[in-house]
Structure 1
Amino acid sequence: MRHPSGVPAHCSVDGLTPVVLVRGATVLLTVTALVHTVGHGFDGGAAALAFGLLVAVGELSRWTGAGTREPAPLAAAGALAYALLGQDAGEPTRHGVLQVVAVVTVAALAGCLPRAARERGAVVDRLVRRVLTVACAALCFRLLPGPDAYPGWHGPAYVPLLIAALGPAALCDALLAATLTRARTGWPLGPLLRDALRALPCIGSAVCATGVAMSLAVAVAGLWALPVFCLPLLLAQLSFRRHAAVRTTYRQTIASLARATDIAGYTPPGHARRVAALSRAVGRELGLTESELTVLEYAALMHDIGQLSLVDPVPAGATAGLPAAQARRIALLGGAVVRQTGVDAEVAVVVERQADPYREQPVGARIVRTVNAYEERTRDAGPDAPPRAIEELRRRTARDHQPEVVESLARVLARGGGGVRGCPG
């Protein structure tokens, strides 16, 4: 469902308005920072150049692989370190918040230019997050008491004070990430914000710790300390790349297994893929975490694999209308196959429990069961099939389908279903 302009309907009021405000504030802050910095000149030009190069190189090496919340950790850590830089080789620094914003903006723009043409919207959102998060960190750092007001400023309390300055910046980044993703995808803000907050102790803590360490090292040893303290984060980024490559291969293997039922003629082409895409959207609507969504997606891809054990295929692969005993037998056989593949045991549980009474099922099995039933009822049907299918699922909530799952499915479909066919009402 879209407006004539082509903008998703769900983003027109509650999605785009916050984004317009956030982007407008970022543009205003950036222009102000650039004008002020150009007019007054740079304080500490060598440090500005060094940290600017670090941010630009970090953005150039940005990685968009799955499984990470911060695909440019080196740029993020460098930007935060510059925001927290109180001294350079023992000499106090005098650059302010506006210079930090100007340097980080120019450097991030330079690093993002090679990807700007093909990732325009994503690049803009990343720049907005980078600029506002760094501005927040720099402002909090400048609001901390100075050495005259607080004698322990350069003593043991210095590190906790730096960490305290990063706390609001990390929360700001999490809120921005959730808000911008909400506007782009239409997913509920609450689960997105929870996912962003859960990610803070992971890569977020590594980025913050490296930023603090960089600022402390430069304060003592000067700018030569930057390359040394970049190395651990570069190695961590390399590890993330390798981990993502393994996960990509893992998912491709599962997708290939899921296609076996299509190739053998047990299910219509693309059935498992459609159920997986819609199940993930419903799971996100219900507030599942990223790890739970991954289990749900894998289980949905393989939910029909038990049909390979049948001598006579189910007509059109439609298992939703089978007698309970036969459906449960197919589900148990599918779970046994999944366990033999070495896939996570949680995936096998969802597959083998999808035919149980819904009150006894885990939430993943409830979602797969409902989405599978919807997909079977709307396959090769007319435009009035989706609303009729939803109404039928609602009538069967007393026994077969959880009401919350059915209503979440209806909301997802009303927003366009993430590209999945069918939009009731």
Structure 2
Amino acid sequence: MTSAPSTRPPPAVLTVRALAVLVAVGCLARVLGDGVAERPVALAFGALVVLGELLRRPGAGVREAAPLGAAGALAYALLGEVAGHPTHHGVAQTVTVVVAASLLGSVPHLALGPEPGADEAARRVLTVAFAAVCFQPLYNRGAFQGWEGPAYPLLLLALLALTVLCDAVLAAGTARARTGRPFGPLLREELRGRVGITAAVCATGAVMALAVAVVGLWALPVFSVPLLLAQLSYRRCAAVRATYRQTIASLARATEVAGHTPAGHAHRVAALSGAVGRELGLSGPELTVLEYAALMHDIGQLSLVDPVPAGATARLPAAEQRRIARLGGAVVRRTGVADAVAVVVERQADPHREQPVAARIVRAVNAYEERARDAGPGGGPAALAELRLAPAGDYAPEVVAALARVVSRGGLTSPPVG
């Protein structure tokens, strides 16, 4: 009998979680010993974090599921004054308030089932601690006295940029430990993913800290409204994207329903193409085009009078492959899907030097999936060997190499037959 694969997180992930627990416990012990400074301020920011956690939507399709809570936590970490009066809450109280408020706001989610991931919670603790350590000790020692004009706001923005970098490094490091993918592409992917809502979170956190320093705690509800509206807009955009993807997935299943391709083939090609695209450093929009094209790569077979046996187009003559690809591109254009997707579909059979990167990936992954599927269990290495030995113009060497790395880390070495 073979034992079930272990679900224990990698040591690097456990180390990050353990460090977050140690930081949180140490800060709590410090606060219990020294007492809570400026209780009304702590309660106000704690309530803001609780509200942000209550509004959390883990499946919202954005990288930061609780932007209001994150903005409130960062603002408290960078808070130096309240209505002109210096604060003295320090690093330990900042972390304690954020952790306690996050836990309190997560209670309803725990009761309903979905909950924030342990890795995300650990990163929240460590990034808030990082921001507070960078700001609070220096501020309390008077290091920023005399900073006037734009210098002080720019300082806060610079500290927030470092905090975002810290969070991205932690996220990329834990992803590296889980997946084995190179750290550099993972870090670039994390940084790209923080351009949208995370930028709004940082800007709101800085504005909150500056506004509370001048007008007091009344600034918190005022400056929460724009971020709440942005969060709502992101959720609507995510819902539209999800509906759009479901429509494309339904179109992709048309070839399976018609008996032209095996069940699950399009989804396996899309999943593996996405992994190869990330391995090659494609950005978010490029990965979206790649996924849609991979899902619809066989749709041209609907125009054939005589179906290809098992839908295996990769072994057809080059001219026939290109004809089916052109038919597929024409079908995609009629569906109203983005033109970039149609271009990938119709050029997937061209010589690789003439193809866009996404088309190179779809062609290689489709051929690999067909060959591995036909070879049965353990057919992955043989399929990769066939791709490497194919004529020079068929498959891009860098794509085949990336595919081999993905498969070696647990990709579809023996694709399941639907």
Q: TM-score, normalised by structure 1?
A: 0.91
Equivalent residue of 1:62, what SS? coil
Deviates more, 1:278-287 or 1:300-309: 278-287
Partner of 1:367: 361
Partner of 1:417: 411
Deviation at 1:133, TM superposition (A): 0.9
Partner of 1:111: 105
CA distance in structure 1 between the aligned counterparts of 2:157 and 2:24, rounded to whole angstroms: 25
Deviates more, 1:72-81 or 1:216-225: 216-225
Runs of 5+ unmatched residues, structure 2:
none
Q: Is the CA contact (8 Å cut-off) linking 2:156 and 2:206 kept in structure 1? A: yes
Change (3 A) 1:5 1:141: same
Equivalent residue of 2:146, what SS? helix
Q: Is the CA contact (8 Å cut-off) linking 2:185 and 2:281 kept in structure 1? A: yes
Letter in 2 for 1:332: R
Equivalent residue of 2:94, what SS? helix
Q: Deviations over 1:122-162 (max 9, x none)?
A: 52111111111111111111254669555523554221122
Select the residue among 297, 309, 329 that pairs with 1:335. 329
Change (3 A) 1:79 1:257: same
Change (3 A) 1:419 1:323: closer
Partner of 1:323: 317
Q: CA RMSD in A?
A: 2.2
CA distance in structure 2 between the aligned counterparts of 1:279 and 1:148, rounded to whole angstroms: 54
Deviation at 1:372, TM superposition (A): 0.8
Deviation at 1:60, TM superposition (A): 1.9
Select the residue among 48, 52, 61 that pairs with 1:54. 48
Select the residue among 240, 263, 268 that pairs with 1:269. 263
Q: How many corresponding residue pairs? A: 414
Equivalent residue of 2:103, what SS? helix
CA distance in structure 1 between the aligned counterparts of 2:340 and 2:204, rounded to whole angstroms: 35
Equivalent residue of 1:174, what SS? helix
Select the residue among 331, 341, 344 that pairs with 1:347. 341
Q: Deviations over 1:302-339 (max 9, x none)?
A: 00111111111111111001111111011011111111
Letter in 1 for 2:34: H
CA distance in structure 2 between the aligned counterparts of 1:249 and 1:411, rounded to whole angstroms: 32
1:230 aligns with 2:224: yes
CA distance in structure 2 between the aligned counterparts of 1:66 and 1:17, rounded to whole angstroms: 29
Partner of 2:37: 43
Change (3 A) 1:367 1:131: same
Deviation at 1:4, TM superposition (A): 6.3
1:303 aligns with 2:329: no
Equivalent residue of 1:126, what SS? helix
CA distance in structure 1 between the aligned counterparts of 2:154 and 2:137, rounded to whole angstroms: 14
Partner of 2:279: 285
Runs of 5+ unmatched residues, structure 1:
none
Equivalent residue of 1:394, what SS? helix
Deviation at 1:45, TM superposition (A): 0.6
Q: Deviations over 1:30-69 (max 9, x none)?
A: 1110000011110011111111111121112112235422
Partner of 2:237: 243
Letter in 1 for 2:29: V
Partner of 1:161: 155
Deviates more, 1:136-145 or 1:22-31: 136-145
CA distance in structure 2 between the aligned counterparts of 1:410 and 1:85, rounded to whole angstroms: 50
Select the residue among 134, 140, 147 that pairs with 2:134. 140
Change (3 A) 1:370 1:179: same
CA distance in structure 1 between the aligned counterparts of 2:241 and 2:288, rounded to whole angstroms: 11
Letter in 1 for 2:77: A
Deviates more, 1:408-417 or 1:27-36: 408-417
Partner of 2:70: 76
Partner of 2:6: 6
Please show how residues 395-414 of structure 1 align to structure 2 within 5 Å.
395-396=389-390, 398-414=392-408
1:388 aligns with 2:382: yes
CA distance in structure 1 between the aligned counterparts of 2:19 and 2:374, rounded to whole angstroms: 48
Deviates more, 1:254-263 or 1:184-193: 184-193
Q: Is the CA contact (8 Å cut-off) linking 2:88 and 2:140 kept in structure 1? A: no
CA distance in structure 2 between the aligned counterparts of 1:152 and 1:304, rounded to whole angstroms: 66
Q: Deviations over 1:176-224 (max 9, x none)?
A: 1222233344443222210222234322221111001111221122212
Q: Is the CA contact (8 Å cut-off) linking 1:65 and 1:241 kept in structure 2? A: no
Q: Is the CA contact (8 Å cut-off) linking 1:147 and 1:154 kept in structure 2? A: no
Select the residue among 308, 313, 331 that pairs with 2:307. 313
Deviation at 1:240, TM superposition (A): 0.5
Partner of 1:258: 252
